[in-house]
Amino acid sequence: MITSKRIKPIINRYEELISLTEQFVQEKTKSHFRDEVRIDGDEIQHEINTSCNCHPEYGWNTIGTIEELGKWINERNKI
């Protein structure tokens, strides 16, 4: 049976993964802003404004792969 006691650690790990993914995107894009990020299949994507100032539209841009994220995390943990 799925209980909140079993779900909470999964949510905590997911939040940690998203935080690391945000840091990965910031480093790759050289941005000081926190973009919305998502993991879509094997791709790391961030949301970007794809239009002019008066008509904002947002789209997802692929910035890397799960494999690249894993390598980045491993390198980061060596320090």
Q: How far is CA 20 from CA 6, 24, 33, 61, in A?
A: 22, 6, 14, 18
Q: Cα–Cα distance between 53 and 51 in angstroms, integer?
A: 7
% the chain with pLDDT above 70:
99
Task: Examine the pLDDT at 62 and tell me if it is beyond 90.
Answer: yes
Mean pLDDT score, 6-26: 95
Is the pLDDT at 34 greater than 80? The verdict is: no
45 vs 1: which has the higher pLDDT: 45
37-42 average pLDDT score:
96
The structural domain count of the chain equals: 1
Structural domain boundaries enclosing 69 = 4-78
pLDDT of 7 above 80? yes
